[in-house]
Amino acid sequence: MLHIQNLHAAIDGKEILKGINLHVKPGEIHAIMGPNGSGKSTLSSVLAGREIFEVTQGEISFMGKNLLDLAPEERACEGIFMAFQYPVEIPGVSMTNFMKAAIEAKHKYQGTEPPSPTEFLKKMKEKRAMVGLPDKLTGRSVNEGFSGGEKKKNDIFQMAMLEPTLAILDETDSGLDIDALRIVADGVNQLKTPNNAYIVITHYQRLLDYIVPDVVHILFDGKIIKTGDKSLALELEEKGYDWITKS
Partner 1 sequence: MTHTIEQYIAECGDHVLHAFSALPRPSKKLEDWKFFTHTEWFESKWNISTVYEVTPDFIHSQLQGIDYDSLVVFHNGEFLMQYSKISDFLKISNQEYKPIFESKSLTQLDIVHTANAKHGVNIRIANSEQLNHIVLLSVVSGSHTLCTASHTIHVEADTQCTITEIIVSEANATESLMLSGTQLICNAGSVCEYTSIQKLHKTSSIVQNIAVMQLQQTTATVHAYPLSGAYNRTNMSAYKQGTQAHTNVYGILFPCTDEHIELYTNIYHNVPECETNEQIKGLGKDNGQGVFSGLIYVAKDAQKTRAAQSNKNILLSPTAKIHSKPQLEIYADDVSCNHGSTTGQINREALWYMQARGIDLHKATELLLEGFINDVLETMSNEQVQAYILSHIDTKIAEI
Interface ranges with partner 1 (CB under 8 A): 48-50, 71-73, 76-77, 81-82, 84, 87-93, 97-98, 101-102, 105-106, 109, 141-142, 158, 162
Instruction: Provide DSSP, 144-179.
Output: TT--HHHHHHHHHHHHHHH--SEEEEESTTTT--HH
Report the nearest approach of partner 1 to the CB of residue 146 (Å).
13
Cα dihedral: 233, 45, 72, 122 (round 10)? 50
Nearer to partner 1 (CB atom), residue 49 or residue 213: 49
Query: Measured on CA atoms in the order 60, 64, 68, 71, is the torsion positive or negative?
Result: negative
| Residue number, 71 or 129, with CB nearest to partner 1 | 71
Distance CA 193, CA 223 (A): 29
Closest separation between CB of residue 109 and partner 1, Å? 7
Considering the complex, state which of residue 109 and residue 243 has its C-beta at the smaller distance from partner 1: 109
CA-to-CA distance for 227 and 222, rounded, in angstroms? 14
Q: How far is the CB of 178 from partner 1 (least distance, A)?
A: 27
Supply the DSSP symbol for 113: P
Shortest CB 14 distance to partner 1, Å = 20
CB of 233 to partner 1, least distance (A): 27
**Minimum CB–partner distance for residue 157 and partner 1 (Å):** 12
Helix (H, G, I), strand (E, B) or coil at 121: helix
Residue type, position 128, single letter: R
Q: Is the CB of 17 or the CB of 95 nearer to partner 1? A: 95
21 Cβ contact list (under 8 Å, min separation 6) = 4, 5, 6, 7, 224
Between 91 and 117, name the residue whose CB sits nearer to partner 1: 91
d(CA 143, CA 203): 24
CB-nearer residue toward partner 1: 171 or 244: 171
